[in-house]
Every structure is written in structure tokens, then in C-alpha cells.
Amino acid sequence: MPVTDQCGLYEVVPAGFDLLHASPAELDRYGIPQKPDADTEPELLAFWTELVSAPFAAKQPVFADIDPPSTGGPLQSMLNWSGALISTPWPQQIVFAAAGWNVPDVRRPSASALGTHSDDPKSLLWVGLDGRNGVLPNISLPQIGTGHWPNRKPKHFAWWDWWHNTKPDEVPGKSETSPEPQAITLIDNLAMETGHKILAGLAVQVSGDVLYFIKNQSTGEFRSFLSPPPSGEIEPLGSSVEWVMERPTDPKSRDLFPLPDYDPVNFRYCVARAADGAIGSGRMMTLGDNALMIEMRESFADPERTVIVSRPELRQETKDGPVGITCTFQDPAV
């Protein structure tokens, strides 16, 4: 049974309901993450406050397959990710991750990369948990974000996935370095346009399920749902959190799509909660906590070379304020 058939849907938040002063039970009923602590998690609280404030209009999500299919997934030698990640020291695990960004305009790049569908550039923006060592058995990666495909109508959309690798002996003829392709899932009833402000995140539940949520802050439209873990054994969640611009993979050929020329993306609210368990006491983590920066590279034939096409840089959002990250497209023809 597809994971989307098992997803839990929440009661719809009534129009005009005051989420800022809702009880924990009411937040659970409506699929809203719990309110962070004002003293120990001020940056998470700022994210949460914007998330639940007006404009706000909730609906249950409608899921659909991406056509044509495309696959998100783990880091592959910096060929498909650009952004940053932070890891938490054992035994703590990251149980909540947040992100905000504006929908970027996208265009076909000036040059075609080698080994790609050169006429079909695609990009995915997302926040996710784990997946850093995706070639290892049982690694998984719950992620939620937006897609930006110049050749698609509409070219901007919301999506989610819980990518996972499988044990080699679970897939006959496959090796540890050959994860099965898994197409991402469209959130079909959350429209967006260039420049719209997006808020998104993930919250790990005591059950091991994950609460996914995403909001178009420019329109107020909010969607949330609960997903169980993928079938089969997976490693415990929460070793890392990522904020990423990605170029996805074609499930059939496993070739990476080329990266579109995109407007700079400023990831905001790059904050997470690390805890001893889903309900344990925790601490807030930010990009100031030993962030690992990831530059995306593509190879080109004229002349033959490999260049950085997406470069991340840490950004101080305000004096003594939170640290964000900006991903910028690097024109391969320059």
C-alpha cells in the first residue's frame, strides 16, 4: 500500500480560530506543531508564531503523482545538493525542523550539463531530516518543500517524500550503492507563484510517525498530515537536518536533471530542536552549530570541466539575530 494511502489527515482548523492561544490538545487535533518555549527556543517561536498567524486558511491536503516522475534523495558526491546541514551529538536526535523561503523564478540554464536531460531542468527546495549517508542500508529522509520546473505548468508546486534506502538483500541484484528510485509526491491543492513566501517543517512524534506541514504565507493556505515510516527497517531519525536546493533524478535512467538558472534563495528560520526523545527536554540548534556547507557541481563538455553551479553562503539575518543561508546560481558559461 502506498504511504500516501496510510497518511493521517487532521481536522480542519475552523475559520477565525485563535491558534496563538490554542491548547496542546487543540494543536494536536488540527495538525499544528506544538508551541516552542519562549525562553529556550526564541527563534523556533518566531517561526511558529508566523506559521499560525493570519492569514491562515487550512484544508486537508490532496496528493497526486508527479508527471513525469522525479526522484529526490540523498547526497551524491555534492552533485545534486546545495545548501547546509547540521548534525547533533549522540544520543540526542533532531525531532523538529523548520524553514522559510520565497518561491524563486527559474529559467533554462545557459549551458547544458553532461549526462542529463538537457532540455528539462528541474529543482527542488526542501527541509529534511537525515539522508546524509544515503548509500548506507536503512537510511531514510523525510522531506517537504517546493518544486520549480521551468517546463512545467504550473512551474511551482508543493511536494513531500519519505525517501529510504533498503537493505541490499531486500532488493535482488542491487548493491549498497544502488538505492531504489522513489518518486516524490505532489501536494496538489497548495498553489503558489513566484515571490510567494513559504513556511515548512517536520515534527517527529512519539510513535515514530512524522508530522509534515507547509504554508503559503502569502495566501495563508496551510496543509499538514501525518506519515508513518516507510515499510522495512530504518535507522532512528534525527542525526542531521538539512536545508537544500536540489536537482532531482529521473527514476528510469537515474540520470540527474540539469539545475535551472534560479533567483537567489534565502533560507530563513533555519532552526531545529534536538532532544533525548520526541517528548524529552531539548535544545534549539541553528546554522551557528557547526554547519556543513554543500556546493553543487555539474560537468560540461564545452570545454570539458566540472564547475560549481549552486553556491551556499551563511547569512546573518539581523545583528545578533538568526543565521540563514543563501543559495545562488553560478552561470556555467561565465
Domain ranges of the chain: 3-329
The Cα–Cα gap between 135 and 138 comes to: 9
The Cα–Cα gap between 232 and 32 comes to: 28
What is the pLDDT at residue 180?
58
C-beta separation of 2 from 183 below 8 A: no
Q: Which residues of 21-44 are buried (b: 16+ CB within 10 A; e: fewer)?
A: ebeeeebbebbbbebbeeeebebb
The Cα–Cα gap between 71 and 251 comes to: 6
Level-2 CATH architecture, domain 3-329: Sandwich (2.60)
What is the pLDDT at residue 174?
45
DSSP 148-201: E-TTSSSSEEEEEEEEE---GGGSTT--TT-PPP-B-EEETT----TT-EEEEE
pLDDT in tens, 120-177: 999 999 999 998 766 677 889 999 999 999 999 999 999 999 998 865 444 444 444 4
User: Cell match 517546463: residue?
Assistant: 151
pLDDT in tens, 164-200: 886 544 444 444 445 556 789 999 999 999 999 999 9
Q: Is the dihedral of CA 149, 152, 155, 157 positive or negative?
A: negative
Helices (H), the chain: 3-6, 24-29, 42-52
Is 80 exceeded by the pLDDT of residue 42? yes
Confidence of residue 70 (pLDDT cuts 50, 70, 90): confident
Mapped onto helix, strand or coil, the DSSP state of residue 14 is: coil
Mean pLDDT, all residues of the chain: 89
**What's the burial of 16, exposed, middle or buried (CB within 10 Å: 0-12/13-18/19+)?**
exposed
Higher-confidence position of 253 and 295: 295
The Cα–Cα gap between 256 and 248 comes to: 6
The Cα–Cα gap between 18 and 275 comes to: 28
Lowest-confidence segment of 29-38, 60-69, 292-301 by average pLDDT: 60-69
